[in-house]
Every structure is written in C-alpha cells, then in structure tokens.
Amino acid sequence: MFYILSFILIFLLTLILFLKLHPVFGGTLSDEEKEMYRTFPNYVNGKFVNTFDLNMKMSPATIVTLMRDGLVGKEERRPKTPLPVSFNNKTISSEDNLTWFGHSTFLLNIDKKHILVDPMFGQTASPVSFAGSKRYSKEVLAIIDKLPPIDAVLITHDHYDHLDYPSILKLKEKVSEFFVPYGVGAHLVRWGIQRDKIREFNWWEEILWSEFTFSFVPSQHFSGRGITNRDSTLWGGWVILGKTSRIYVSGDGGYGPHFKQIGKKYGPFDHTIVEGGQYDPRWSAVHMQPEESVQAHLDVAGRNMILSHWGAFTLAYHSWKEPIERALVEAEAKGVTLITPKLGETVHLQSNMAKSTLPWWREKD
C-alpha cells in the first residue's frame, strides 16, 4: 500500500509541476491586466463571459454518451490515407489571394500584405504530442519555412487547435506584429514574443493598420489552455477591411444574433471564413452546425463563403467529410457560393470562384 500511495503522490506532483512549468500551457495574467479587465462589461468575477449566458455543463448521462460515441464509428472520422498539402509559395502573387492549410489556418495576401490567421501547423491539437487528435496531413509544420515574411498574425482564441505552441516558436522571427484577444498576449510573451509586437483587443475594438481596418468582433465560445485558466482570455472573430477585399473570419462559436450585428456594422463582405466543422448537439452553444454556418454567412452579408474548422483534425463524432457535404447542400439551397479550395491551394480573390469549388475530398477514401 505504501508503494502505491507513493506512486500516486509522485505522479500528482509531476503532473502539477508539468502544468505549472511547461510553456505550452501559456502565460499567466498579471495583477495589472486583471485589474484592467474588471472594467470590461464582458469580464465578470475574474472571467470573460459571452453576451448571453450559456449552459455548457454536461450531466453524468451526457458524459457517458460521449464516452460511448468515442468508441464507435472511428473508421469514418479520419481519411484512410494522409491528405496532401501542396503549398507552393510561387502562387502567391501581388493580387489579393487566400491559402487554406486545413482547419482554421489561412494565409491572406491582401494589398501586398501577408496576414496569417490562427497559425496551427502542428501535428497534434493538444498540449502533448502523444495524446489528442492527430493531423490528417504529414509534416505541415515545415511549410512555415516556405511562407513569405508575415506582416500580421491574427489569433481568434487560445485553444490548441488555433494557437499552436510549436507553430509560434517556428514563426516568431518571421512575424512583424501579432493581433490577439485580451489575455492571449501573456501566452505569446512567455513564448518569447516581444511585448511591443503584440496588440490586444476587446470586442468591437478596431485599429487602422497599414491602410487596413482590423476589428475584433464577438463570437459565442470560451477559452483556456489549462485546468485552472478557463475563460481567462477572450475569444472572437476578425473583420479585415482592405482596399479591394472585405473579409470576415468568424472564429469558433455557436450561432447567435451577433452575426447580424457584425453584418450591420461592417458588411457586406466579399469573403467570409465561417467555422462549422466540429459540431455536436451536446455542444451546440459553442460550435455551429454547417447549416447554421451558411446562415451566419448570410447574416453578415457575405458574398463568397469558405467553411473552416475541418480538413485537419477529428474533434467531434461525425464523419470528417460530413461538414463540407452538409454545407454544400445548404449553400445550394440558399444560393450561396461556397468555395472549397484544396489544402495548400492559393485562391485568387478577385477571380471566378467556380474553379475553386471542386469536391476534392470525395477522392480521398
């Protein structure tokens, strides 16, 4: 018994030290930052909150169903073979264009500026390489070496599938500025990013940057990288207004009235990047069904739509192809142009979008 208790104690101490000391879990907010956040209407009792109160608690019965669903249907949740990412930096011309690397990672070249959104090039959407969902593609992290110098990185929130520690380490000498929600700056500082390269935002705050307007806008979600820092940082989406391209990035979140508010204030948009790929009725408050994603695109007054949050990781219990198939059906029914670029493909934003709507994923199984 003594040896068992000793082992348990050593394991718990090791786990606590790992959670406290490993940089992958990010930084800790200073007392000055917390004091400033207390003046925000969306910061209550030491945590950021959604505009509407969301019930995200799960009953024991729901947890049992999650465990059950995690054991069945696995053969449909990943491609049978790795998905290629055929990125060629020579395709990035002076014309406005966009490159999708899977999930929520996009490289935008707008008005000759390179803007990288939610740079997650790592192999695992978790704090450790031996656990968590593995990427569908191989060696994507090496693509960072092929990227042009990045003028701005935009982060929507601090979850592991959007803010990736290995990616930031590899990117940090390549990036001029980081634009992030409040609280996320502490993570970047711990990872070696200079504070003067980081700008933090609350909802509806905007900035004029190099003839662009960047605005951080609400989403209905949550944040956190560790056991004790749930909702200590903010989450949201981005509005990017250039000379010729108006782009909306939803970030993660459930469907709500904030989309129409965003459309009223900043729409119409030439292109929207809307999440809708890791959904389940049990967490519908914080992730949209594909049909809701199409409606969100219409609410913000978008013209061309790209579905994000799929094509890289399995974080829900449906088929990996189901999100895009459902979104296509709904887009056709609603008269929405849904762009479906291949992983690593560069799409020219001012060109005919029809050639970027081929169902490439149907050839992968």
Radius of gyration of the chain (CA): 20
Q: Number of structural domains, the chain?
A: 1
pLDDT at 237 > cutoff 70: yes
Quick check: is 189 in a domain? yes
Quick check: is 230 in a domain? yes
Lowest mean pLDDT among 53-62, 120-129, 220-229: 53-62
Quick check: is 21 in a domain? no
What pLDDT is stored for residue 59 in this prediction? 74
What pLDDT is stored for residue 354 in this prediction? 57
What pLDDT is stored for residue 21 in this prediction? 56
pLDDT in tens, 256-272: 999 999 999 999 999 99
Quick check: is 36 in a domain? no
What pLDDT is stored for residue 162 in this prediction? 98
Quick check: is 55 in a domain? no
For 55-62, what is the mean pLDDT?
73
Q: Is the peptide bond before 268 cis (omega within 30 degrees of 0)?
A: yes
The SS3 of residue 21 is: helix
Domain that holds residue 175: 63-363
The SS3 of residue 17 is: helix
Reading phi first (left if > 0) and then psi (alpha if -120 to 50, else beta), residue 19 is in: alpha
**CA–CA gap between residue 26 and residue 24 (Å, rounded):** 5
Strand 97-100 relative to strand 346-348, pairing: antiparallel
Quick check: is 292 in a domain? yes
Q: Please check whether residue 250 is in contact with residue 272, taking contact to mean a CB–CB distance below 8 angstroms.
A: yes
List residues bridging with 247 in a β-sheet: 240, 271
Q: Count of alpha carbons within 13 Å of 151, Cβ hemisphere only? A: 13
pLDDT in tens, 318-345: 999 999 999 999 999 999 999 999 999 9
Quick check: is 11 in a domain? no
Assign 11 a pLDDT band (cuts: 50, 70, 90): very low
Quick check: is 270 in a domain? yes
CATH number at residue 182: 3.60.15.10
**CA–CA gap between residue 362 and residue 316 (Å, rounded):** 20
Winning range, highest mean pLDDT, from 23-32, 93-102, 252-261, 346-355: 252-261
